[in-house]
A and B are shown apart, each in its own frame.
Chain A
Amino acid sequence: MAILGRERQVDWEVVYEGANGLLDLYEKDPESKGMNAIIKGFRQFTDNLFAAIDEGRPVVWHNCGCSPELIRGLEDVQPMPIEVLTVLQDLLGDVKHTTDLIDGAEAHGVAPEVCSIDKAAIGAVLKDLYPQPACMLYHNTPCDSQIAAIKAMTELTGKPMRLMDIPYLSGDREVKYLAKQLREAIPFLEEHTGKRFDWEKFREVCEESNRTGEYLRDWNELRRHKPCPQVSKMVALNTALLVAFSGDPEGTAIAKGFRDEAKERIERGESSVEGGELYRAVWYQDPVWWDLQFYDWMESELKLVIPMDLFGYYASEAFIDTSTPESMLEGLARKDLRVLPMSRQFKGPIDSFIDDYLRLCKDYQADFGIFAGHVACKHGLGGIGLFREASREAGIPLLYFEFDMFDPRVTPVETIQDHITHFVEDVVRPRKEAA
């Protein structure tokens, strides 16, 4: 394996250096608790992954639709989301490495219309940047592109893979259906990792997941405050927290950092926008992960803040009842179906996708909505007409544009800035002035 031992590939080194560089920037700033916590968390995740490789502990791959608590129920097993390198590279490292991986996957024959994060993940496998998995555990959410990537990865690695079927709806019947599949996945994981599934450990993991969730719920509430106490980019990071750190004390520390920072800033009467916010928007669909400074630009140039987005929103159905093995499996199934961003909104009838958006606009007192359509999320983009109708009916202006959340070559940041500037100047500002 190419990244065994201390000889890490350049891609991982760039991520690691990026994390260290950002920590140098933020660590001494007492007001950046949330950002500090998640960057530390990312670095810790990388350390844990390398430690597992060095120590020969099994690594189990999973995807962003599959929360890692079940894998954490096994002793000494390291979960690894297949999107991890792309996300870390875009958020901390150098996006050029992501685009190289995308190009590598396309050159190998992966269809261009496959999501860029999936192409980059396949590119990472092709370049031997990921540790070989003992096995892989996936959900067939949030999209068809991910299923295509999962199949490609199974073929490329030749490792055992279990794909859980996520039903169209997410009622109690569907929760039980998924919980049954989670139970069936346990012997699969035990067989291929050679590790025992410990129900007591799983209970601790679920309790940790609940603790993280409690902080995130508080944090969601605090961000409703006007003016918004924390910078916009924080909300874009929450999905990374859930996918990589659910059930891990590191996740609770990050969520606490988010919550504490928001709480303290409200107590001090601070706004995320220097000079005061003028506009608030709910950002829907996908964030601009390849340029988090873009959010700083919105705040400084337009006085526009994003109090909440689809990735930051933490639905309240996440609590896992830890009283029995069955209740834990059902609780985890419920979280997978009804809470994980994208998995919650991108499957089933579009009504819940739209309802969540309208609720967020109301709860967070948004002046308008931004539907940032990641080009591969066709299942989301397909509903734009209905979205537009619902927004108009609710009297909430909606800006729609297309871009790629992992690949800046599709829509450059300047174009996105133009879209937003025009919309604020021509639609939002006149309305606020007229009000």
Chain B
Amino acid sequence: MITAGIDIGSTTSKAALWIDDHLGPCSIGPSTTNPRATARECYEKVLQEAGIKGEDVACVFGTGYGRAKVSFADDNISELSAHGKGARVLLPSARTIIDIGGQDTKVIVMDAAGEVLDFSMNDKCAAGTGRFLDFIARTLGVSVKDLAKLHAGGSHQPASLSSMCSVFIESEVINLVNEEVPLASIVQGMHQSVAIRVAALVTRMGLVEDVVITGGVAKNAGVVDELERKLGVKVRTFPDGVDPQMVGAIGAAVIARQKHLKRSGKQA
């Protein structure tokens, strides 16, 4: 059986196929002002890569902020459930899932049986999100993809960024640049600032190992490094080089399979 998950996020849109209980092709692209078309485009890509047609897919679930716009989806599921399910399927020992997306940060705590037990979200404040990193990278005149490289490049002496607000932190960063503080230190300080925010959310939930990070920011090794320092635990990575940004779409595809089996009277 083939099922699909489409994750329409604030910054990127993703599609994943789940084929006979294994991960199939995945695709990712920027979110646009036309989420319906974006969803269709991502979906077409994975279908093409798998060499199948839409009618070969038993069930499609949408997730993410734009989940309601996935017009061809059979149903949709919240990103909390999708990320929780996706992380657990890929890494069954995962109990705390930190999803740092473009627009918000979520901490999802799973119970031993793999059900969501609790969650906490920062969806009101830009600080500690992917958008925040984009914004500061622009201020520094570097690409967001280079942040991890810059972080690793210097000795670990993070610049002190006192502000927790993404608006005020920009002027702090400009001051540091004018004071000729090394770029690596500024980037490390910025990553530390993100890690402090996220760690506070995790601590509030009660940290349960194993910890895993999903979302686009999980690809920034600098943030992961600072988060490990703050939490005092090793953050696990997904096996087989699975892209952590795809976890929501994968989770949606897995839930689509389970729901489809349940609806058709079979065991998940």
Tell yes or no: B253 within 8 A of A by CB: no
Whether, in the assembled complex, A426 has its beta carbon less than 8 Å from a beta carbon of chain B, the answer is yes
> Can you name the residue of chain B whose Cβ is closest to the Cβ of A430?
B115
Decide: A427 and B206 in contact? CB cutoff 8 A.
no
Task: Report the Cα distance A107→B206, complex, angstroms.
Answer: 39
Q: Which of A388, A422, A426, A431 has the largest number of chain B CB atoms within 10 A?
A: A426
A191 in contact (CB, < 8 A):
no
- Tell yes or no: B117 within 8 A of A by CB: yes
Is the CB of A1 closer than 8 A to any CB of chain B? Answer: no
Interface string of B91-129 (1 = CB under 8 A from A): 000000000000000000001010111110000000000
A283 to chain B, nearest CB (A): 17
Q: Which residues of A contact B205 (CB under 8 A)?
A: 388
CB of A426 within 8 A of CB of B117, answer no
Complex CA–CA separation, A398 to B119 (angstroms) = 10
Within 8 A of B (CB), among A364-422: 385, 388-389, 392, 395, 397-398, 422
User: With A385-B206, A388-B206 as given contacts, are A422 and B117 in contact (CB-CB < 8 Å)?
Assistant: no
- If over half of A's interface residues share one DSSP class (helix, strand or loop), that class is named, otherwise mixed; here it is helix
Residues of A with C-beta under 8 A to B81: 425-426, 430
Of A395, A398, A430, A434, the contact of B118 (CB 8 Å cutoff): A398
In-complex Cβ contact of B117 among A385, A392, A425, A434 (8 A): A392
B108-157: which have CB < 8 Å to A?
111, 113, 115-119
Least CB distance from A394 to B in Å reads 12
- Check if B80 sits within 8 Å of A426, measured CB to CB: yes
Q: How many A-B residue pairs have CB under 8 A?
A: 36
CB distance from B210 to the nearest CB of A (A): 17
A426 to chain B, nearest CB (A): 4
* Inter-chain contact B119/A426, CB cutoff 8 Å: yes
In angstroms, how far is the closest chain A Cβ from the Cβ of B50?
28
Contacts of A426 in B (CB 8 A): 78, 80-81, 84, 116, 119
A426 to B206, CA, bound (A): 18
Report whether B116 and A427 are in contact in the complex, using a CB–CB cutoff of 8 Å.
Answer: yes
Interface size on A, residues (CB 8 A): 15
**Mostly helix, strand, loop or mixed at chain B's interface?**
mixed
Task: Determine which residue in B81, B84, B115 has the highest number of CB atoms from chain A within 10 A of its CB, and name it.
Answer: B115
A425 to B117, CA, bound (A): 12
Contact with A along B210-228 (1 / 0, CB 8 A): 0000000000000000000
Contact, CB under 8 Å: B78 / A388: no
Of A392, A397, A422, which is within 8 A of B78 by CB? A422
Q: Are A397 and B119 in contact (CB under 8 A)?
A: no
Closest to A433 in B: B262
Chain B residue nearest to A398 in the complex (CB)? B118
Specify which chain A residues have a CB less than 8 angstroms from the CB of B117 in the assembled complex. Answer: 392, 397, 427
Q: Give every chain A residue within 8 A of B113 (Cβ-Cβ).
A: 434
Known: A385-B206, A388-B206, A389-B206. A397 touches B118 (CB 8 A): yes
Note all chain B residues with C-beta closer than 8 A to A395.
111
A16 → B minimal CB distance (Å)? 39
In whole angstroms, what is the CA distance A149 to B173 when docked? 45
Complex Cα distance A388/B117, Å? 11
Chain B residue at minimal CB-CB distance from A423: B119
Q: Which residues of A are found within 8 Å of B84, using beta-carbon distances?
A: 426
- A392 CA / B116 CA spacing, docked (Å): 12
**B80 contacts A434, CB within 8 Å?**
no
* Interchain CA distance A398-B81 in the complex, whole Å: 16
Tell whether, in the assembled complex, residue A427 and residue B119 are in contact, meaning their CB atoms are under 8 Å apart.
yes
Q: Give B119's nearest chain A residue, CB to CB.
A: A426
Q: Determine the distance from Cα of A427 to Cα of B110 in the docked complex, in whole angstroms.
A: 9
Closest Cβ of chain B: how far from A186's Cβ, in Å? 48
- Chain B residues lying within 8 Å of A397, measured Cβ to Cβ, are 117-118
Bitwise, B75-90 to A at CB < 8 A (1) or not (0) is 0001011001000000
Least CB separation from A429: chain B residue? B81
Chain A residues with CB under 8 Å of B80's CB are 422, 426
Q: Is the CB of B78 within 8 A of A425?
A: yes
Min CB–CB distance A418 → chain B (angstroms): 9
A130 to chain B, nearest CB (A): 38
Bound CA span A422–B205, Å:
16
User: Contact mask A256-271 → B, CB, 8 Å, 1/0?
Assistant: 0000000000000000
In the assembled complex, the Cα of A242 lies from the Cα of B206 at a distance in Å of: 37
Q: B255: nearest residue on chain A (CB-CB)?
A: A430
Looking across the interface, which residue of chain B has its beta carbon closest to that of A415?
A: B124
Residues on A facing B (Cβ under 8 Å): 385, 388-389, 392, 395, 397-398, 422-423, 425-427, 430-431, 434
Given contacts A427-B119, A430-B115, A431-B115, 4 further A-B contacts (CB under 8 A): A392-B111, A392-B117, A423-B119, A425-B78
List B residues at the A interface (Cβ < 8 Å): 78, 80-81, 84, 111, 113, 115-119, 205-206
Q: List 8 A-B contacts (CB under 8 A).
A: A385-B206, A388-B205, A392-B206, A397-B118, A422-B80, A426-B81, A426-B84, A427-B115
Q: Which 10 A-B pairs have the closest CB atoms?
A: A426-B80, A427-B116, A426-B81, A426-B116, A431-B115, A426-B78, A430-B115, A388-B206, A425-B78, A397-B117
